[in-house]
Structure 1
Amino acid sequence: MVFEVLVREKAGLVVFCLIFAVMFGGGGALATAQLVGMISNWTAARSWVAVPAQVLEAELKTEPGRKGKTYEATTRYAYTFGGQTYESSRLGIGPGGDSIGDWQRSQHLALLAALNQGRQVTVWVNPSAPSQAVFNRELRIGQVLFWLPFASLFSLIGLGALWGVWWAIRSRPAGAIPPNPPRISSDERQGLWATFWFVLCWNLLVFPIGAMVLVEHGLWGSHLVVLIFPLIGLALVRWLILKAQNRRRIGRTSLVLAPAQPVCGVPLFAQVEFGKIPQEGEYTLHLLNERIVQGRKHRRTHLLWEQEVRVWAGNGTLTCRFDPPASAQSSAVNGRVLTSWRLNLRWPDGKTSRNFPLTVMPASSQMSEAAAAAHHLPEVKEVDRSEAVAMPASVGVLVPLSDGLRIEYAVGRHRASARAMLTIGVLFCAVAGLLAVRSGSSVMSLLLGLTSLGLLVTGIRSWTTPLRVEATSQFLTVRGITAYKRLNEQWPASSVKQIVPVVEGSSGADHDQRYSYALQAELSSGGKVILGNGISSRAVAEMLAQRIRDALEK
């Protein structure tokens, strides 16, 4: 029975992984053999002896390619060792032709000059086997760096494909939803391992290429653009180290649910247990119901339902209650569509977070049993949620007015995106400068320069743009500057039908989507107006919407 399920549902995935394992694993094995062969030949040739030789032939073969020409210097020379004359055609310790630097052409010129002038050259002969000789016994660093990514990266991909075969065989059949374990661990460890392998593969690829470019082309020129990628690799290493240190500082975090198998329409009690004493402060727990659609090229995540709870913690546990509606969609897999639930826990600093994947069952006759199970766990108690949500300083400041209020949004709420635009703008500017130095004014350098200028201007405006919203019993006013335009608009309070928080966008991986919210005013004329964005908390967005509604209805 197990074999039939495997053949029916997993054969395609297993075959795909096996093909990857054979292709990339075989390529990695060949590259490793080539690399080991070069190093072993170089090590052996260091003990060979120098012997004068007469050049008999010297030729340079050229083959055109998509990215330039490939050169192969060939030769034939004669030498005498131990009273006997030998001939050899071996040029170096590596394979034949390549396009790495000008090594092939320089060797050809040296041999051709010796042939034309009739002078002898020095070759290196194996004293144990005099028929073995080589013209240049030096190890080409550029050639080693060229083969290193193939030997390491392809081998890792092949091993990863074999692990994929093992995972496919052991995983559940397609469409099966696993039940929640008694104690749910966060997926942070999996994310850390995924980050580690990505950073490792990135650096195994870009560092040898960057070093090869420097070795072959020198320390100055437009080719230095390639060094951007090793710099990104160093930034990724630093990011990985910070994530590992953060995980070690916080320790392992686990989640206990009551009921253990949640049901739509039944109150859900959650208790978070920390491995180490947590930071004292207000923690945010966010229960999310999402739909993930796997397209041909991309995955799209849609938020179906959410509830946010804030809990003050000063000991080793957090306890809170959620109320998933009976109309919510339960955990399910339907072809390329995954309906999932997760609990997101965010620390008081707003930077550290953990995600706990959950399985939630549909509303059914099991609701009464689940409710009974919830009340049989006295250690999990409902928390008081009557405390008002505070306005974070990172979002802005609430200023009371005699007949309403004013929201002064913090200019730093968009600094993450502004920092990204500024970084990319600086990189584009550096690339444009290098191209201009190397080839003078060109269309490419001009386009990159204009693009970098636009990114820098937009990033600076996003970093420093103020925005102010005033709500009174008479008017709703928006004044300020966004990254793209200046705002100075006003509407009568009676024309505002409602103020609602809406999802503005999301960022992060599929299993760790972070949503940002905006305040949207719906007017009686049918128009919609954004009253501020970049709000990272649903509870804060709902609080601001309610405060604006109260001010307009005074």
Structure 2
Amino acid sequence: MNNKNNKNEMGRVGARVGGLLVSVLFAVGFGWVGLNALGSLTAMLHTAWMARSWQAVPAEVLESRLLTSSDSESTTFAVHARYRYEWAGRSHESTRIGLDGNAGSDNIDDWHQAWDTRLRAAREGNSPIRAWVDPLHPDRAVLDRQLRWRKVLFMLPFAVLFPLVAIAASFGAWSSLRRAEPTMAPSLTGARHVPQHFVVGRWLFAIMFCVLAFAAVGMASGPSAPGWVWLIAGLFVLVGLTLLWAAVQGTRRAWTYRGSFVSFQPSQPRSGAAFLASWTLPPRASNPWAELATIQLRVAQYRIDDSGSSTSERLAEHFTQDARPLHHPDGGLSLQARFELPSDAPSQGARRSGEKVDWRLEWLDEKDNIQMAVPIPIHSAMAIEDSAGDRLSRDAQPLNRDIPPAASEDAIPSVPAGVQMLERPDALVLDFGRARWRSLGILAVIGWVVAFVGSSLALEVPLLALSLYALSRRWTLEVRDDGMVLERVSWLWRRRADLPASCLPGLYHRQLPGNQSAAPSYVLWARGIDRGSDLQLTPGLRGSGAIQVAQMLRWALAQRGGRFSPGMLRNVPAPLSRPGWGWLLCLLWLALRLSGLVG
């Protein structure tokens, strides 16, 4: 055990040192590039603002040339000039053309080529050209006082995002130096725990993404840009605006719940004992919840793996209780629920099986989504670092969990959110939600129209196929008197499988992989159905949705079995999987586009 603890400790120290070095490199590299870009962009904008009051004078072009630099990937250009002008009877010379001084070489647009043509024509024709002179400093002049907006958009990500990355990396390096294992000091009686809404982080991420998105739009705004470039840039803008809207909603939510807090009795819950959790809301936040019949609070234990350069967390166990509402005279609301912790519950911040323990009290809405969460200062007498008998270790967690039969088959089970139930004379049908697929189909149709307008044939056919699939996708389970029928149908493909009634006792659900900070999703499976292999019966369902579907299937078959037909033994057809007619439509569209009959 000591050797294992030493290895874990050495692994954490190595990961911390590696993370520190990576953070320092990111801070220095991104900081140097970002500060240079920020200085150049600031100087350009400042010169553009000051040049509004500069005076126009005729100038003689003395010299001009266009330098090119080519490599295997691109060719860049740089225009150079020298011109002479007079101000207040004195002659001055300058080499500055644009607002950015020594602009260097680039191929962002045709600015260098256009000015080279204009300067060469003025020099060869001995015609003057207009220069803009600073009246306060006559030795400063420019030929073009208009901002190169495409260059501004190109520099914007470097000037904004790179310094932010450097600041975040510096904070990460500082946190690595100061990081220490948390100690569970006794809490003060009546301590208040305030939920965090992470508003600043949401706004920073939304602004950073929008800067990149609008910079991409600016770079793709040329008239010669292909349609697929416009499509990608438009999708980036759509995602950026969605993130901004989410930040606005998060800010509104944080203001609404400002002043809410959680308290525990006793103030520091202990393993193997019961405690009372009280969640208090201000009057402006209590109105939407006062009308609900039941509100649920959940105590959840998360396990955080921080042994590598990044961290991941999983939901190890949870306990859910209905909260009892207590109305305050001022319009506020308190929700109280009593929980009892298992005797082997570890302390908050302790380590079990190489993972960090994080206890949270979570507020669940009617769809089992987490509204708010606060840490719980749980204390345990078991102060060991690692435990060989940890029942919640990652290795001890079973991949598949059998679903036991319900206590009673008389009462109809509840249907999960997003699942529609329809009872026909010949079958009971469970139709799984299609709202998200419909939204994806609408976006695919919009993208297909944009690709068609931009004459991007490489994107038209995939987007057409995606829209046909998303708009026509249906996932249903039919319960008949002799078994079940699973259908996954779309205009592109059709899959059908007949399941005998004997598969119902072997139903199990499997948790979908991914971040478990929200309510986990599960998929319902049946053992040994698809030619000896397990068969997936449902898409991912939040919370206990897979268990509810299994109970509904067993209840429906118990109600229908042998009652609506002779009930004789039938042969189970082989699973069906074949393409649909939608592919013919995609091929027809491709043929029409290639023949030139459309577009």
CA distance in 1 between partners of 2:152 and 2:352 (Å): 48
Q: 1:319 aligns with which of 312, 333, 336?
A: 336
Mapping 1:33-44, distance limit 5 Å: 33-44=39-50
Mapping 1:370-389, distance limit 5 Å: none
Distance verdict in 2 for CA 1:84–1:320, change over 3 Å: closer
Distance verdict in 2 for CA 1:221–1:115, change over 3 Å: farther
CA distance in 1 between partners of 2:498 and 2:86 (Å): 94
Q: Could you give the per-residue CA deviations for residues 434-477 of structure 1, whole angstroms, max 9, x where no partner exists?
A: 5526xxxxxxx42x333323322332244x4433335x7xx442
Q: Within the alignment, does 1:467 sit opposite 2:473 as a pair?
A: no
- Aligned partners of 2:271 and 2:345 also within 8 Å: yes
* TM superposition shift of 1:213: 4.3
CA distance in 2 between partners of 1:176 and 1:128 (Å): 62
Q: 2:95 aligns with which of 69, 86, 89?
A: 89
Match of 2:572 in 1: none
Count of residues in Structure 1 that have an aligned counterpart in Structure 2: 503
Question: Could you say what secondary structure the match of 1:118 adopts?
Answer: coil
- Aligned partners of 1:289 and 1:329 also within 8 Å: no
Distance verdict in 2 for CA 1:320–1:408, change over 3 Å: farther
- Aligned partners of 2:479 and 2:556 also within 8 Å: no
* TM superposition shift of 1:250: 4.5
Match of 1:394 in 2: 418
Match of 1:68 in 2: 74
CA distance in 2 between partners of 1:244 and 1:449 (Å): 39
CA distance in 2 between partners of 1:496 and 1:47 (Å): 82
CA distance in 1 between partners of 2:193 and 2:203 (Å): 19
CA distance in 2 between partners of 1:327 and 1:531 (Å): 36
- Aligned partners of 2:16 and 2:309 also within 8 Å: no
Partner AA of 1:394 in structure 2: G
- Aligned partners of 1:332 and 1:338 also within 8 Å: yes
CA distance in 2 between partners of 1:479 and 1:314 (Å): 46
Distance verdict in 2 for CA 1:391–1:251, change over 3 Å: farther
Mapping 1:231-242, distance limit 5 Å: 231-242=238-249
Q: Could you give the per-residue CA deviations for residues 340-398 of structure 1, whole angstroms, max 9, x where no partner exists?
A: 333332123656622233355557499xxxxxxxxxxxxxxxxxxx9997435533348
Mapping 1:186-335, distance limit 5 Å: 187-190=195-198, 192-211=199-218, 213-214=220-221, 217=223, 223-225=229-231, 226-267=233-274, 269-275=276-282, 276-277=285-286, 278-281=289-292, 282-293=294-305, 300-311=312-323, 313=325, 315=327, 316-326=333-343, 332-333=350-351
* TM superposition shift of 1:86: 3.9
Partner AA of 2:462 in structure 1: T
Partner AA of 2:478 in structure 1: R
Q: 1:138 aligns with which of 122, 130, 146?
A: 146
CA distance in 2 between partners of 1:309 and 1:80 (Å): 84
Question: Could you say what secondary structure the match of 2:144 adopts?
Answer: coil
* TM superposition shift of 1:137: 3.1
Match of 2:495 in 1: 486
- Aligned partners of 1:145 and 1:211 also within 8 Å: yes
Give the TM-score normalised by the residue count of structure 2.
Answer: 0.70
Distance verdict in 2 for CA 1:84–1:194, change over 3 Å: closer
* TM superposition shift of 1:111: 0.8
CA distance in 2 between partners of 1:267 and 1:286 (Å): 14
Partner AA of 2:484 in structure 1: T
Question: Could you say what secondary structure the match of 2:279 adopts?
Answer: strand
Question: Could you say what secondary structure the match of 1:90 adopts?
Answer: coil
* TM superposition shift of 1:238: 1.5
Q: Could you give the per-residue CA deviations for residues 266-286 of structure 1, whole angstroms, max 9, x where no partner exists?
A: 445433333342333222333
Match of 1:514 in 2: 519
Gaps of 5+ in 1: 1-6, 367-385, 438-444
Q: Could you give the per-residue CA deviations for residues 37-71 of structure 1, whole angstroms, max 9, x where no partner exists?
A: 22333344444443333322221011125763221
Question: Could you say what secondary structure the match of 2:541 adopts?
Answer: coil
Question: Could you say what secondary structure the match of 1:466 adopts?
Answer: strand
Distance verdict in 2 for CA 1:390–1:259, change over 3 Å: farther
Partner AA of 1:274 in structure 2: L
Question: Could you say what secondary structure the match of 2:320 adopts?
Answer: strand
Partner AA of 2:358 in structure 1: S
Q: Within the alignment, does 1:345 sit opposite 2:363 as a pair?
A: yes
Distance verdict in 2 for CA 1:108–1:335, change over 3 Å: farther
Q: Which moved more, 1:295-304 or 1:47-56?
A: 295-304
Q: Within the alignment, does 1:450 sit opposite 2:450 as a pair?
A: no
Partner AA of 2:359 in structure 1: W
- Aligned partners of 1:424 and 1:452 also within 8 Å: no
Q: Within the alignment, does 1:408 sit opposite 2:406 as a pair?
A: no
* TM superposition shift of 1:536: 2.0
Match of 1:536 in 2: 542
Q: 1:26 aligns with which of 29, 32, 51?
A: 32
- Aligned partners of 2:23 and 2:173 also within 8 Å: yes
Gaps of 5+ in 2: 1-12, 328-332, 385-407, 560-599
* TM superposition shift of 1:489: 1.2
CA distance in 2 between partners of 1:112 and 1:80 (Å): 21
Question: Could you say what secondary structure the match of 1:432 adopts?
Answer: helix
- Aligned partners of 2:368 and 2:543 also within 8 Å: no
CA distance in 1 between partners of 2:192 and 2:553 (Å): 39
Distance verdict in 2 for CA 1:123–1:532, change over 3 Å: closer
- Aligned partners of 2:369 and 2:518 also within 8 Å: no
CA distance in 2 between partners of 1:203 and 1:110 (Å): 36
Q: Within the alignment, does 1:150 sit opposite 2:158 as a pair?
A: yes
Question: Could you say what secondary structure the match of 1:453 adopts?
Answer: helix
Match of 2:127 in 1: 119
- Aligned partners of 1:497 and 1:522 also within 8 Å: no
Match of 1:505 in 2: 512
CA distance in 1 between partners of 2:382 and 2:352 (Å): 20
CA distance in 1 between partners of 2:500 and 2:44 (Å): 76
- Aligned partners of 1:146 and 1:208 also within 8 Å: yes
Distance verdict in 2 for CA 1:108–1:206, change over 3 Å: same
What CA RMSD, in Å, does the superposition of the two structures yield over aligned residues? 4.2
Partner AA of 1:35 in structure 2: L
- Aligned partners of 2:226 and 2:454 also within 8 Å: no
Question: Could you say what secondary structure the match of 1:436 adopts?
Answer: coil
Match of 1:4 in 2: none
- Aligned partners of 1:222 and 1:435 also within 8 Å: yes
- Aligned partners of 1:305 and 1:328 also within 8 Å: no
Question: Could you say what secondary structure the match of 2:301 adopts?
Answer: strand
CA distance in 2 between partners of 1:390 and 1:313 (Å): 24
Distance verdict in 2 for CA 1:114–1:476, change over 3 Å: same
Question: Could you say what secondary structure the match of 1:189 adopts?
Answer: coil
Question: Could you say what secondary structure the match of 1:340 adopts?
Answer: strand
CA distance in 2 between partners of 1:537 and 1:490 (Å): 25
CA distance in 1 between partners of 2:424 and 2:121 (Å): 89
Match of 2:448 in 1: 429
